[in-house]
Structure 1
C-alpha cells in the first residue's frame, strides 16, 4: 500500500492569499479533496492522508508532526500564489534534497503544466526554497503554487471548474507516474459534466443572457456550434442597431424641439 500525504495550505482563521472573490484556503482544500477522491477511487493500492479535510486552522508544526509518523511515500503541499505580475504556476522543493525529491518535482510539475496548457497558464518553472512543509519532512516533498489569486486573469481561470479539475488531474497524474500506480479495472477516468447544469462562476452572466433573450436557458454546459453562435451574434447585432436607431431618433427630436 502506497501512502500519499496531501497538505491543503492555510485554513480556518488563516485564509492565505485573498483577492478577486477567492480565498487560497478554499482552492487548496478543493484540490486536495479532489486528488484524494481520484487517486483512491481510480487506482489500486494507494491511501491518501490529509493534513485537513475541512476548513480548520493548523500551525505548520502541527501539519508536519502529523505527516512525519504516517510513513507516507511522498508529500504534496497545495497552495495558490500572490504578489501580482503575470501570474502562472510553479513548484518548490527544499534547497537541499535527495534525487528522489527532484525526480518527483519534475514529474509532478510536468504533468500539472500539461493539464493546464489548454488554458494558457504561464509556466514559472521548478524552483527550490527553504519552506517549512518541504524542509521538515524526510519523504520526497513538493509544494505547488497553483496560479495567482491576485492576478485577474489567473483568478478568472480559478473560478472555472474545468481549470480546478485540470489542476487536480495534474497532481493525480504526477503522483501516479512517480509511484507507478495501476488503474483499477472499470475505473472512470474523468467525471463527465452535466451540460444541463450551469457552472457557479457563469451563473450570473447566464441569467442575464437569458433575460435579454440571447439564450433559451437550456444546455448551459454544451459546446456551441457556428450556426448557434451566428444566431446569438445576430440577436446582438439587431439589439445594437435598435439601440443606435433609438439614439438617433432621440437626437433628431431634441434638435427639432
Structure 2
C-alpha cells in the first residue's frame, strides 16, 4: 500500500515575516512548529511521508505552495500560522466554497482542531471557513491552523518557549494521526533487567609478580578451569 502523503506548510518566510509583535516573527514560529510536527509524525507513525513547503527561511508564494502539494498528489494539506489582531487562543479554517470533498475536509479538520485545543489548553475560538487562496487552490482536503495571537502578551509568552512550540507540534501530529487513522510505530522491545543473562566472575588471586600470576593460571588450567590474566593498576 502506498504511503500517506501529508504536506505541512509553514506560513510566510523570507522577506515575508508574517505578523510581528512581542519580539516574535510569525515566520520563525511556524517553521519551528512545522519542523517539529514532521519529526514527530515520522517518529511516531508508520506509512506516512511528510513534506514541507519550506524547511528554511525562504519565501514561497501561495500558488507555489499549492502547486507543490498538488504535484505530489498529497492526501492532506495543513498550513500552520500564528494569528494577530488582538484576540486570544486557537482557531482553524477550511475553504468556504462548495466542493465535493468538503464533508471529508470538515470531518478531518474537526478531529485535528479538537486535538490541538485539548492538548495545548488554548482558548477555543472555533472552527471557521474562509476564502483563503492556500485552501482554495489545493486539490486535497486542506486546513489552516492559527496557533495563538502573536500580539497578545499571554499567547506570545507561551509561544516564546521552544517546549511550548513542541506542544503545538505534537498536538498537530496526534490530531492528524487520529483524523487519518495512522498506525503507531511499534515500540522497540527491550529486555528487563531480570530477563537478561547474568554472568559471575571468580577471582582466584591477585599478584604483584607476573610470574606468580602465570603460575596460578597454569595450575588452574591443569585442573580444567579456564583462566586468564587481567592487568590493572592500583
Cα distance in structure 1, aligned partners of 2:6 and 2:180: 10
Cα distance in structure 2, aligned partners of 1:165 and 1:133: 24
RMSD: 1.1
The alpha carbon displacement at 1:59 in A equals 1.1
Question: Normalising to structure 1: TM-score of the pair?
Answer: 0.69
User: As a proportion of its length, which structure holds more helix?
Assistant: 1
Q: Within the alignment, does 1:167 sit opposite 2:159 as a pair? A: no
Cα distance in structure 1, aligned partners of 2:167 and 2:141: 23
Q: Within the alignment, does 1:109 sit opposite 2:110 as a pair? A: no
Matched residue, 2:18: 16
Structure 2, gaps ≥5 residues long: 189-234
Which consecutive segments of 4 or more residues in structure 1 shift more than 4 A?
A: none
Cα distance in structure 2, aligned partners of 1:58 and 1:137: 15
1:15-39, CA deviations, whole angstroms, 9 ceiling, x for partnerless residues?
0000001000001000110111011
Q: How does 1:33-72 map to 2 (within 5 A)?
A: 33-72=35-74
1:182-202, CA deviations, whole angstroms, 9 ceiling, x for partnerless residues?
111127xxxxxxxxxxxxxxx
Larger radius of gyration: 2
Structure 1, gaps ≥5 residues long: 188-257
Matched residue, 2:5: 3
- Is the 2:80–2:147 Cα contact (8 Å) retained in structure 1? yes
Cα distance in structure 2, aligned partners of 1:56 and 1:19: 20
Larger RCO (alpha carbons 8 Å, 6+ apart)? 2
Number of equivalent positions: 183
Question: Normalising to structure 2: TM-score of the pair?
Answer: 0.76
